[in-house]
Each structure stands twice: as C-alpha cells, then as structure tokens.
Structure 1
Amino acid sequence: MIAGFLMISEDTLESLMPLGPKDLSDRIIEIEENPENENMDIDKLWDILHAFLTGVSASKPIEGDRLSEAIVGTHPFSYESHADFITCTEHDELPEIIHSMEYFDWEVRKKEFNLKEFGRKRIYPTGICKEDPKALIPEMEKPFDRFSNSIRKRYVKNGI
C-alpha cells in the first residue's frame, strides 16, 4: 500500500464526486499522469508518518486533528468493498492544516519517538520498525516538508 497526494482544482474535484470506485480510480490515474497536475507520492511512509505526527495509525484517523487530516484527508469517498482509500480536503480546510504543519515541532517529537512502540501498535509497514529511528526521521521529514511547502505555495499563489 502506498499513498499519494494530488492537488486539483475545485472543478476537477466536483467532476470526481459522482464517480463510482472503478471510474474514480481510473480518473485519478489519468489526472496523476498529466504533468500539469502537481502530485506527490510518499510511498509506504503514510502510516508511520501519521503515527509520528499523531501517535496513532492512519487506520484510525482523528477527526478535527489537522495533522491527521494532512495525511488522510478530511472527506473520504466511501466504498465499502473497494481497496482504494481515497479522500479529499477542500480549499477552505487548508489554512488550518497548513498552520498545523508549519508549527509542528519536529525536535520535541523526535525526543518522544519510540519506534518499538510503533511496532507494538502494528504501524504499517511493520518491517519499518526494525530500522534505525535516526535514519527514519529524515525520511519522514523530507516528504512532510515538501508537502507542507507545496500546499502552502499553491494555496497562497493560486487560491486553489
């Protein structure tokens, strides 16, 4: 399982809303492949990053927690029997998420970070809990910073 973020216009989002699971997945792939659309892949780091930011797995999103919502989105496209977990975050929700990301204190959290605890919580991918925590933190920080900077710039520049 991997995670990616895709920045789209409100009109594009509206066009996705009525689609069923297969058509939605196909359409998102088309949008991702268009070089005009900004997207970012965080591969398998989504759950460990969510747990690092919030203390819990992304499988248990925290409604109203802007750091949780930065990773898992705010509005799921609900399909009971489909493997894809697709969510969206609307434009007016971004300022609070951007603010939370900008003021997240990596230094404080690094001191509290216990990778063995994440292993006990079965944070995905489970094998990652055997890695060196000092090497893993920069792996998480890089996409977090890139994503934070990207949404802030796009939000401010384009109002999208």
Structure 2
Amino acid sequence: MGLRANYQYLSDKDLVALKKFDNEDDIFETVEDWNDEAEILLDIDKNWDLLHYMLTGVSASDPIWEDPLSEAVVGVTSIEKIEDFIAYINKDRVSDILKALEDFDMESALESFSLEEGKEAELYPDIWDYDDEEEEIKEDLLDCFERMKEFYKEILEADGNVLVTIY
C-alpha cells in the first residue's frame, strides 16, 4: 500500500472544526468523511515526495517555510500530536501557490532528473532501481503536477481552503 497524498477543498466551517480537534481518532474519522464528500479532490498517490523534490530540490520531509512550491505539496500548517500527516492551507495562500506552480517549468526539471538522483536523495517511494520505467515515472509525475495546478485553480475559484493528508 504505502503513503498516499490527498488534497481536497476545505470549507471555512470545516477549517474551524479541524483546528478544534483534540482527539486523534475523531480527526481521522472526520477527515475520512470529508474526503468521501469532497467537492474538489486530488489524489497524487505516492508521488508527493518526488513532486516536492522536483519543485524544491529537497525531500518533503524537509519542507521549506514560506515557499509556495513546498506548501503546494505539504501544506502550510500541520496538525501536531497525531501519528499521520494532516495539514491545511488557508485560502489567503492559494493564489501564491497557484502562481508559483504556473511559473514552474516542470518539463525542464524532468529533463535534468534521473532515477539515480532520486535514489541518492532517498525519496519516497523506493522506485529508483526501475531504470526501464524512467520515462513512465516522469510522465506520471508531469501528470500529477498538471492535475495539482488544476486543483489549486479550482480551489481559488471556489474561494476555499485546502486539506492535505498523507497516510
């Protein structure tokens, strides 16, 4: 199975509720319900760490404070004291994130990337010994990037917040 990343529309009301949770079981049950009912949803499967690396040059385990490209993948504010990763992005950051994504040249970044680089950076998931699948991996990553841009565009149009889950 592995760690999968999901991004979804989060209403102002649900954001207030998220900030008030103090029980880990309650938060996961509620987040799963929100995921089932999400108006706008993006699932990039296991590509979150590689996507973060392509956008920032570092693994998602080392997010970059106030970097909209890093925030696009791992959110802005994480929920502390829980085992899995849940974070959110307030609507006032969405336009900056979208602009940064639109200005980023993923095709050029992918041209200079090799699976050996991913292996050396110890990025998740461990797919770095599949040299015969390098083009497929890059195509999948480009697709995730394009879908992420579209997701943030939809969130901006809906004047929404974003919920990020990686588990």
| Alignment TM-score, normalising by the size of structure 1 | 0.90
State the match for 2:139 in structure 1: 138
Does the CA contact (< 8 Å) of 1:31 and 1:37 recur in 2?
A: no
State the match for 2:59 in structure 1: 57
Q: Is the partner of 1:48 in helix, strand or coil?
A: helix
Counting only pairs closer than 5 Å after superposition, residues 56-135 of structure 1 correspond to structure 2 as: 56-79=58-81, 82-126=82-126, 128-131=127-130, 132-135=133-136
| 5+ long unaligned stretches in structure 2 | 161-167
**Cα distance per residue 1:54-73 (max 9 Å; x no partner):** 11110110112111110000
Distance 2:106 2:40 in 1: 26
Distance 1:111 1:143 in 2: 16
**Cα distance per residue 1:83-119 (max 9 Å; x no partner):** 2110000000011100010111123212321221211
Distance 2:115 2:48 in 1: 15
After TM superposition, which residue ranges in structure 1, 4 or more long, deviate above 4 angstroms? none
Counting only pairs closer than 5 Å after superposition, residues 7-22 of structure 1 correspond to structure 2 as: 7-20=9-22, 21-22=24-25
Deviation at 1:140, TM superposition (A): 1.0
State the match for 2:36 in structure 1: 33
Does the CA contact (< 8 Å) of 2:4 and 2:45 recur in 1?
A: yes
Distance 2:4 2:107 in 1: 26
- Which structure has the highest strand share of the two? 2
Q: Is the partner of 1:129 in helix, strand or coil?
A: coil
| 5+ long unaligned stretches in structure 1 | none
Q: Is the partner of 1:123 in helix, strand or coil?
A: coil
Distance 2:155 2:65 in 1: 24
Higher relative contact order at CA 8 Å, sep ≥6: structure 1 or structure 2? 2
Distance 1:41 1:142 in 2: 11
Q: Which range moves more in the overlay, 100-109 or 147-156? A: 147-156
Letter in 1 for 2:117: E
Distance 2:93 2:66 in 1: 10
